[in-house]
Amino acid sequence: MPSSPPRTKYCYVKGHGNGQDDSDYILQALHECNNGGHVVFSQGTQYIIGTALDMTFLKHIDLDIQGYIQFTNDTDYWQANSFKQIFQNATTFFQLGGEDVNVYGGGTIDGNGQIWYDLYASNIYILRPILFGTIGLKGGSISDLNLRFSPQYYNFVANSSDVVFSNISINGASTSVNVAKNTDGWDTYRSSNIVIQNSNINNGDDCVSFKPNSTDIIVQNLICNGSHGISVGSLGQYLGEVDIVKNIYVYNISMSNASDGARIKVWPGVPSALSGDLQGGGGTGAVSNVTYDTMKITNVDYAIEITQCYGQKNLTLCNQYPSSLTISDVLMQNFYGTTSKKYDPIVGYLVCSSPDVCSGITVRDINVHSPTTGGDGFTCANIPETGLQVNCTTTNKGSN
């Protein structure tokens, strides 16, 4: 990654106190210390942000977050003013971008998510902001932060390159009966040369997800709990769009209490609806050169899942209109541990919508068993079995 020149100026962010919006003080410090400065959010200070902040002008600057930052719970304001990010109705509280920006400090960023979890339960069409928006950042790092109670994804990395995320703590479950949904740890989109490493994630959706046009990415040394796995996709959601995910390396992951360990999820070749606010299908593209190496599995429904019928409950229709998005040159190896009881004795799911769109898939050195029977079976269909060194005990033509 590119090295940063020395920071020669210090700016300390002031706070109004009494729950007032500190956005004006934050912007003042950023402008004063841009191009070679060091901005400090002081330890022991609580900062309130009630204004959508466009910080894509930053250049050669460090943000040293030692204090506590919390976004207001004004859901009407944020739905109207958060930054629209195009993909899947994603919006962000702020946009951090520019060139050579480092964020660190050991502090906390709090999305005030509980009000959003409860609101989403009554209206699935609300726009819930993403906690940390890395948008158009060229060179930089985000490290040593505590991310708490995000309304939706914790991190959205879009149109960015040469960025390292390290030593990030993610946590924030709902305290009501309304579950915190879609709280992905990281989603990458139209980004390259990204590293995500050495972090602890407790969430309710993908631990990391590689969205369309994510390339040259390393994910390593993560502890994931309660998630939907390390996922490629979903892809092929939008008709007329070409989704590319390639050159992905995932290494040394601990996955606990999750729906999946390693997962590749592709929409079918015909439009379908997974839910009212999540629907699609018919897009094209390719997944290639993807490696998952070394994963510890503990109480995970499927250790490995490949599906090209994501979002389509009509399996007959899915196979009639197979995905137009190809999957090739995938290696999954060195998995060990125990699945949950959900699919016992099946521990994995390898199902393409057509053998014409899947090739070069290798699954080997898998020492994963179901907890009750000790089974190690995989559901396999429409996928070349020459590279599958697993027990394909069940074969069908559909996908879950």
Tell me which residues are annotated as active site.
228
Buried b / exposed e along 332-347 (16+ C-beta atoms within 10 A): beebebbbbeebbbbb
Q: Cα dist. 220→59, 190, 199, 250, 295 in Å?
A: 28, 20, 9, 6, 10
Q: Which one-letter DSSP state was computed for residue 131?
A: S
Cite the DSSP H helix spans in the chain: 23-33, 75-81, 114-122, 315-320
CA–CA gap between residue 372 and residue 326 (Å, rounded): 35
Buried b / exposed e along 93-127 (16+ C-beta atoms within 10 A): bbbbbbbbbbbbbebbbbbbbbbbbebbeeeeebb
CA–CA gap between residue 93 and residue 57 (Å, rounded): 16
CB 232 within 8 A of CB 257: no
Phi/psi of residue 389, nearest 5 degrees:
-95, 55
Cβ-based neighbour number of residue 30 at 10 Å: 19
CB 383 within 8 A of CB 353: no
